[in-house]
């Protein structure tokens, strides 16, 4: 069974706050991804990493940042949250042709 | 509980053969429905989606999917598979209503294409 975890599952936070969305996997995968998705819309890749100390911007521009200090950990940070950041954030990891997804974090900025 | 099931973990077909990937969901109402493809080392790419209306949806790369409410299914089809279609395919559903809009993926079906 795949093990990839995201916390928190739901977060409601005020404008201007700094937040970090956590994503961890125990499978030793080098490749990890962050996606953003608005209700009824397709997923958009916002960040990806091919290994430790490797991070790249995805297809959709995002004000968030990521880090990859450890293989198993790929946190996403928003320095100053805004209502426009309200969305669902989905973390994934992959190896060869198989991908695994976290449960997602539903972020609401008020 | 709400769930998405892709019953086939791995499917192998010959190039030129037809393909059908199955997806079933468990939910009280019609959700948004998606099919994504992930090629090795790549991110997800949307193949097609269903929101409402015509139950036969056309997507990219020659794929189509049919929503059947009575069977809670959204199966993906392609009449003639190409070697480049080898990838992992994910069905996803998004529950409508409320403030949740939770997006749930199936576990994926890995497609191998033989020459």
pLDDT digits (tens, 9 = 90+) for A84-110: 999 989 998 887 656 788 888 989 999
More confident call, A95 vs A69: A69
Dihedral, B68, B27, B110, A100 alpha carbons, nearest 10? 150
Half-sphere exposure of B63 (CA within 13 A, CB side): 23
Name the pairing type of β-strands B10-14 and B109-114.
Answer: parallel
What DSSP state is assigned to residue A85? G
B110 interfacial to chain A (CB closer than 8 Å): yes
Question: Chain B: residue nearest A91 by CA?
Answer: B43
Nearest-CA neighbor of A90 among A24, A27, A43? A43
CB within 8 Å of chain A, chain B residues 39-58: 39-41, 43-44, 46, 49, 51
- C-alpha to C-alpha distance for B29 and A64, rounded to whole angstroms: 34
- Residue A24 predicted with pLDDT over 90: yes
Residue recorded with tokens 């080098």 = A30
Residue B102 has what pLDDT?
Answer: 61
Question: Chain A: residue nearest B100 by CA?
Answer: A106
Say how many CB pairs under 8 Å bridge A and B: 56
Q: In what order do the strands lie in the sheet with A76-78?
A: A4-7, A19-25, A76-78, A65-66
Residue B43 has what pLDDT?
Answer: 65
Q: Which segments of chain B does DSSP mark as H helices, in order?
A: none
């Amino acid at each position: 069974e795949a093990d990839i975890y995201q916390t928190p599952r739901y977060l409601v936070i005020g404008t201007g706050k700094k937040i970090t969305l956590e994503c961890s996997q125990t499978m030793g995968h080098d490749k990890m991804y962050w996606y953003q998705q608005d209700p009824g819309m397709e997923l958009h890749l916002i960040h990806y990493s091919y290994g430790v100390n490797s991070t790249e911007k995805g297809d959709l521009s995002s004000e968030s940042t990521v880090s990859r200090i450890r293989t198993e950990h790929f946190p996403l940070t928003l320095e100053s949250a805004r209502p426009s950041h309200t969305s669902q954030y989905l973390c994934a990891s992959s190896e060869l042709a198989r991908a695994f997804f976290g449960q997602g974090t539903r972020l609401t900025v008020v | 509980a709400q769930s998405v099931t892709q019953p086939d973990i791995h499917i192998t077909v010959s190039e030129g053969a037809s393909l059908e990937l199955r997806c079933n969901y468990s939910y009280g109402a019609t959700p948004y429905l998606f099919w994504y493809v992930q090629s090795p080392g790549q991110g997800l790419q949307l193949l097609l989606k269903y929101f409402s209306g015509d139950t036969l949806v056309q997507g990219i790369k020659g794929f189509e999917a049919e929503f059947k409410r009575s069977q809670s299914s959204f199966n993906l089809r392609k009449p003639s598979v190409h070697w480049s279609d080898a990838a992992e395919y994910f069905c996803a559903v998004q529950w409508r209503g409320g403030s949740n809009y939770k997006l749930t993926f199936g576990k994926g079906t890995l497609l191998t294409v033989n020459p």
